[in-house]
Amino acid sequence: MQSTSYLRRDLPPQLSVRYRQDLLIDGTRLPALSGRYFETRNPATEEVIAEVAEGDAADIDRAVKSARAALEGEWGQMRAADRGTLLLKFADAIRNAQDELVELESLDSGKPVSAIRRQDLPAVLDTLRYYAGFADKINGQVIPSRPDALTYTVREPLGVVGAIIPWNFPLMIGMWKIAPALACGCTVVLKPAELTSLTALRLGELAIEAGIPAGVLNVVTGFGRTAGQALVDHPDVDKVTFTGSPAVGRQILRGAAGNLKRVTLELGGKSANIVFPDADLDAAVKAASSGIFFNAGQVCSAGSRILVHEDVYTEFVGKLAARARAIRIGDPTEAGTAMGPLVSATQMKRVLDYIDIGRTEGAAVVAGGGRHGSTGCFVAATVLANVKPDMRVAQEEIFGPVATVIAFRTEEEALSIANGTAYSLAAGVWSADISRVHRFARRLKAGTVWVNTYGPTDVRLPWGGARDSGFGREHGDAAIDNFTESKVVWIQTGL
């Protein structure tokens, strides 16, 4: 499958980044029909690491045709249990290739290898194995309707799925979509983010190596406005599952109107993490720090607004700033690195601009506050204090390592600040008062409320938001509903 192989001397010997990365359509690596490629960079060094095929509408059309043929062919006719077995083999193939995947993900996105090994890769395997188990347990129901008829439902795969994913967790979010779609018997055309195409392509190859038939999982790399939009507009795509920004989410809804595609949107967030004086303050500081600095803040559910009761505000800010300063920022391929660069120079500039906006708005920079080093897209872990709820830095998603810390006095005030943005994805509350915790769990507008912790997710639990955070739920059996449709069979038996 390998075309041009390009092994860089400064990379670990087991890794070969293929310099030319072609599309994966119908089980074959192919250049884009246009013959065009675009460069992808390692954000830690800003060096070009590969050229990626620039797929567009014509390539999307080829991939959709291949996905349709696979759906109507071998994949559609396979026993559900065999589908599950193939997904387990896919998981084994990923596990066997994990060192390569970890390196590729880190090089392409700047994520620390330690985090990918500890968090992303295990989540990828867990997700795939969890949904493999579903494949032969997607049951219909016999529903008694009338004495002279047998009426039952079957759950059929929705069809060809377009999956469009962002760059912050390419492997993990990719698998959140691929695994349930395939378990349900759908076929997929995956469009990764242009900044992080490499692991998606490798995943597609591993699926083939595991025995999943050609065309079941196609990967078309390219730009959102061309390849992504073509997938959304394609009349033979039955569903689009999207994770990304609210602006593109709205664009996708408009495109999906053409043939009335089903749509699931997992969008951004500006999640509140609320700390009361009766909480374990050290535990709260630690979790608040990882809640905003993990993955350099490029997390949809990042606890980017930390609401702290005025009685402990000064102490909390001091401790959070100390933690922020102690975070080891640097080469993501080094095992001891806790925070790598942002994904791109554009993203770095956007985050640095937000820090300046915060300063102009009157926030106090108590840790970080600028670029880290002079090469690579690194931003120092930054804490903005004295933030007011209506400042732009408290309302808009920064998607970087920038904590905004807001003081509050009463429960009502905390709730109104917490619920006072356009987003509604996640929230956290820290308190030892069980009644208060229940009040907050009920009244916080969020798809997930964490109590005395911040940030854990599990594929068994439904995940998603409301308003500008999107709609629909991924994970758990909600994802099975997303990729199947009920059919009623009514058999007139007579009495």
Residues that bind Mg ion (CB under 5 A): 40, 108, 195
Q: Which amino acid is at 365?
A: V
Residue 243 binding: pick among ligand NAP, Mg ion, none (C-beta 5-8 Å cut-off by kind): ligand NAP
Tell the smallest beta-carbon distance from residue 392 to ligand NAP (Å): 15
Q: Which residue is catalytic, options 54, 194, 205, 266? A: 266
Q: How far apart are CA 23 and CA 321, in angstroms?
A: 45
**Beta carbon nearer to ligand NAP, 347 or 431:** 347
Q: How far apart are CA 126 and CA 254, in angstroms?
A: 34
Tell the smallest beta-carbon distance from residue 51 to Mg ion (Å): 12
Please select the residue that binds ligand NAP; options are 69, 171, 207, 232, rule is CB under 6 A.
232
Tell the smallest beta-carbon distance from residue 191 to ligand NAP (Å): 6
**Beta carbon nearer to Mg ion, 194 or 474:** 194
Residue 447 as a binder of ligand NAP (CB under 6 A): the answer is: no
Tell the smallest beta-carbon distance from residue 465 to Mg ion (Å): 27
Tell me which stretch binds ligand NAP (CB under 6 A): 263-271, 289-297, 310-318, 401-409: 263-271
**Beta carbon nearer to ligand NAP, 349 or 439:** 349
Residue 55 as a binder of ligand NAP (CB under 6 A): the answer is: no
> x/- contact string, 379-398, with ligand NAP (CB under 6 A)?
------------------x-
Q: At what angle do helices 411-418 and 434-443 cross, to 10 degrees?
A: 30
**Beta carbon nearer to ligand NAP, 164 or 367:** 164
Tell me which stretch binds ligand NAP (CB under 6 A): 110-118, 265-273, 385-393, 404-412: 265-273
> x/- contact string, 186-225, with ligand NAP (CB under 6 A)?
-----x-xxx---------------------------xxx
Tell the smallest beta-carbon distance from residue 88 to ligand NAP (Å): 25
Please select the residue that binds ligand NAP; options are 55, 166, 204, 368, rule is CB under 6 A.
166
Tell the smallest beta-carbon distance from residue 473 to ligand NAP (Å): 11
Question: How far does CA 272 lie from the centroid of its chain?
Answer: 19
Please select the residue that binds ligand NAP; options are 248, 320, 355, 366, rule is CB under 6 A.
248
**Paired strand residues for 325:** none
Residue 424 binding: pick among Mg ion, ligand NAP, none (C-beta 5-8 Å cut-off by kind): none
Buried-state track 396-414, b at ≥16 Cβ within 10 A, e below 16: bbbbbbbbbbbbbeebebb
Closest to 109 (Cα-Cα) out of 44, 21, 52, 203: 44
Q: How far apart are CA 103 and CA 119, in angstroms?
A: 14
Residue 331 binding: pick among ligand NAP, Mg ion, none (C-beta 5-8 Å cut-off by kind): none
DSSP 89: H
Active site residue 184: no
Q: How far apart are CA 388 and CA 445, in angstroms?
A: 20
Q: How far apart are CA 234 and CA 117, in angstroms?
A: 36
DSSP H helices, 226-344, are 229-233, 246-256, 281-293, 313-326
Closest to 244 (Cα-Cα) out of 196, 287, 211, 180: 196
Which residues have CB under 8 Å from 313's CB, separation 6+?
A: 405, 407
Residue 229 as a binder of ligand NAP (CB under 6 A): the answer is: yes
Q: What is the secondary structure of 339-390 as a DSSP string?
A: B---S-HHHHHHHHHHHHHHHHHT-EEEE--SBSSSSSS-B--EEEES--TT
DSSP 452: S
Q: Which residue is catalytic, options 184, 186, 300, 377? A: 300
**Which residues participate in catalysis according to the annotation?**
266, 300
The site for ligand NAP (CB under 6 A) is made up of 164-168, 173, 191, 193-195, 223-225, 228-229, 232, 243-245, 248, 251-252, 266-269, 300, 397, 399, 425
